[in-house]
Amino acid sequence: MSASVLIAGVGVISAIGKNVAESLDALESGKAGMGQMHFIDSALSDKLPVAEVNLNNKQLSVLSGLSPQISRTTQLSMIAAKEALADAAIENFDELRTGFISANSVGGMDRTENFFSDFLRDPSKGRLRDVVHHECGSASELVADDLGIRNYVTTISTACSSSANAIFFGARLIKHNMLDLVIAGGTDALTKFTLNGFNTLMILDQEFCKPFDENRKGLNLGEGAGYVVLVSDRILSSLKKDPYCSLSGYYNANDAFHQTASSPGGTGSLMAMRGALAESGLSATDISYINLHGTGTHNNDISEGTAIKELFSSPYPKMSSTKSFTGHTLGASGGIEAVFSVLSIRHGIVYPNLRLTTPMKELPFIPETKFLKNQTINHVLSNSFGFGGNCSSLIFSKL
């Protein structure tokens, strides 16, 4: 297997911006993306803040080039994937073996919801065009087809760790010399389905979420997409610009504790972080910054925090949850946070963990609360843990 997988391009869209530049501005100015729901007609709209991408379907379609009838999941995916590929500026794209490995948790559910209310009244009713792209894989194919990717297309769905696993799988396809370039990451749109599902679990904060705060009350749901362009070092000479960094480590473990809750000791999280370090050949002291999973639920943050306490020791690396900006974007979060991790290395920056006022009393460390510039960031650990016990960690390293 070849030595390294490099990051040649990044693309992101979320409630804090429709591209990398806008996202970086928001991260630096501490501007969170949560607010009142505008684009979903939900009974919960006055009760729960969400982190929506601030564009309606028509506006999204202008950026994506897709019909406005197509699911937001696909619109968001197309916008971020196109930005990532353009950013990578690959000249000989058509000569390469390329893949698109995407991830999402609910596919075209936003359109299916429209279909289903008519369908329930009369099974012969409901517009089929609203349900034709329901499957998770459909969103990926619309994007892959538009980008001209033929060699390999697939989709992963492991709840909140989906897109971390997509990046992980893409890297392995490159290492096995099956592909030269993979656009990998994930997407998810806000839907009534997920909103109500999380609401029944009673893990949504009615105010803006406070990850890793002693008084945290839950998460805010968000939407968006994030992709990285992974390339093999075999094609390094054909890149027009320097790659951002390498993907040096990754690991996937299962908490095997409960379908939705994390184990108190963070068994799966600890295995994922420890495994990623082993894969990269690094030790815990090498990590400069941890982009936390940090959803803001009581359960996740104590579980993840306990695992970090076990693996790391003082002086702890800088850490923060950027979900305090973007909300929890579920199947997209690993992709969005991979992009933020890559940018942390490129620009030497650490993002603040917003609204953290009272540190958790069980933990010996406090996540960073200010935007830090001019940092030496050599290695970033990005955590994505999810329902079904699926825990994955990625490590990005400076070249």
Chain residues that interact with another protein, rule: CB under 8 A: 1, 42-44, 105, 107, 112-113, 116-117, 119-120, 123-124, 128, 131-132, 135-138, 140-141, 145, 150-159, 165, 169, 172-173, 176, 192-193, 196-197, 199-201, 252-260, 267-268, 271, 386-390
The three-state secondary structure class of 244 is: coil
Positive or negative, the CA dihedral 131, 143, 180, 345 is negative
What residue has token string 């480590």? 249
Sequential DSSP letters for 155-208: EE--GGGHHHHHHHHHHHHHHTTS-SEEEEEEEE---HHHHHHHHHTT-B-SSS
- Nearer CB in complex with another protein: 62/120: 120
- Nearer CB in complex with another protein: 1/3: 1
Q: Smallest distance, Å, CB 111 to another protein?
A: 12
Tell me the angle at which helices 333-347 and 162-175 cross, rounded to the nearest 10 degrees. 70
- Nearer CB in complex with another protein: 52/255: 255
Which parts of the chain fold into alpha helices (H)? 20-29, 57-64, 72-88, 109-121, 136-147, 162-175, 192-200, 267-280, 298-311, 323-326, 333-347
Sequential DSSP letters for 312-325: --SSPPEEE-THHH
Q: How far is CA 185 from CA 13, 283, 356, in A?
A: 12, 26, 28
Cα gap 165→276, rounded to integer Å: 12
Q: Smallest distance, Å, CB 351 to another protein?
A: 28
- Nearer CB in complex with another protein: 119/208: 119
Q: Smallest distance, Å, CB 1 to another protein?
A: 8
Q: Smallest distance, Å, CB 128 to another protein?
A: 6
- Nearer CB in complex with another protein: 47/373: 47
199: tokens are 């609401």
The three-state secondary structure class of 109 is: helix
Q: Smallest distance, Å, CB 241 to another protein?
A: 30
Q: Smallest distance, Å, CB 264 to another protein?
A: 15
- Nearer CB in complex with another protein: 221/271: 271
- Nearer CB in complex with another protein: 61/162: 162
Q: Smallest distance, Å, CB 257 to another protein?
A: 8
